[in-house]
Structure 1
């Protein structure tokens, strides 16, 4: 009986040792895997920290670059504003110089002639005027009428504003007569282009220039026979910098009535507006 108990006890002790050994091996295996996992996690954390640090440095560098670019942009905007102001000032100076250069020498005041008055008074290429309604059959005017006209001319000379004038210039060996006054300046400010009025024989010739683009053209007043009515002949001189945006009709000769003048300049202003 005692021997039986001894054998059972030995079996129990051996089984317990084997179970403890198996549990110890299992724990060692689990601990090894856990340590590997922990090492991998720590390595990943270090990599993320390093990447985060690099990203922070990049963000800081980008912020510095952005601040520098903003400063540069503000400086460029300031320079652009200064240049715009200078360009505007130079344009005003050029316009003032242009206005002064058109004035006649010696302060001579010359009255203007509109297309209607030209038709009524029979303007020629020179300053001579022929009255078509007062011819007495001998090519001379009655003394009373002559005195009245001379008196009216003297009054007109005193009433004519100082800004009106006439300048004689030579172009291609031919003498041309350009007239400029406050009414012409008003039209120039309305349409945004410069005008030069030239009397050519029986017709009136306008040279029109858009200074900023270099676009220029001429308008010739073609009077119908024995009437005050007429048409304007458009002929382009130079398209300047608007050549790519210019409409087809702007590149060709065009004949239109005075009633279409507003629509004509309105369409040109639209093209020039798209160009600027």
Structure 2
């Protein structure tokens, strides 16, 4: 029996070694395949990383190109705006000088202001102008009952005319002298004869500005300069712009202060909450940004 057992054991041992050898070959093949897969994956990852870096560089280049073109467009637009404004200022100055040279006196000095028409002449003192402005402000404040946005009313014009008449009477001048002092054409009211008295008294420049900005506009004089208040009615967002004249003929500046964010309280960008000072040349860009925020959240 022992030779039979020895023969069976040898056969078993050979089969076992053969199986182990086959398993080793299979494992070796699998290991080689796995290593090849890992190497190919690393090469692919490296290739994708290089492509990603290349795309990032192209995106940054395109962004810088777009920014430079936008800056060029804005510079060109501001240049055209400044040129048109300079031409308009020159034209108004020429008209002003022509009015001064005619008959040796200045008959009319119009000012572009939605609420206050200032009248100047050799026959009227600064005291009468201050009295007209104060009466106009009191009448307008009584009609609006504390609203942020007001317009020039017919009572304001009547108060100014009465103030002039009183001052002329004190100086011994006739009421016909009032014909030398006129309000600017833009503040004489709406040309629509069917409109009400209040509607006809609204300054045309103010009405046009409100249509362009989709906001209610009002102005008032402060110690620091002329203050312009704007209100977006549907959202309740309101702010003020204070006009500050610079000495030495430098470009005037505007100071932005928020009065109320309204429904934009949680979504308003940080710059809308701060006090901002900018030149009048940047006024167009400022209102473009305000309009963008309003359009985005309304």
TM-score, normalised relative to structure 2: 0.44
Determine which structure has more spread, i.e. the larger CA radius of gyration: 1
TM-score, normalised relative to structure 1: 0.47
Higher strand share: 1
Higher helix share: 2
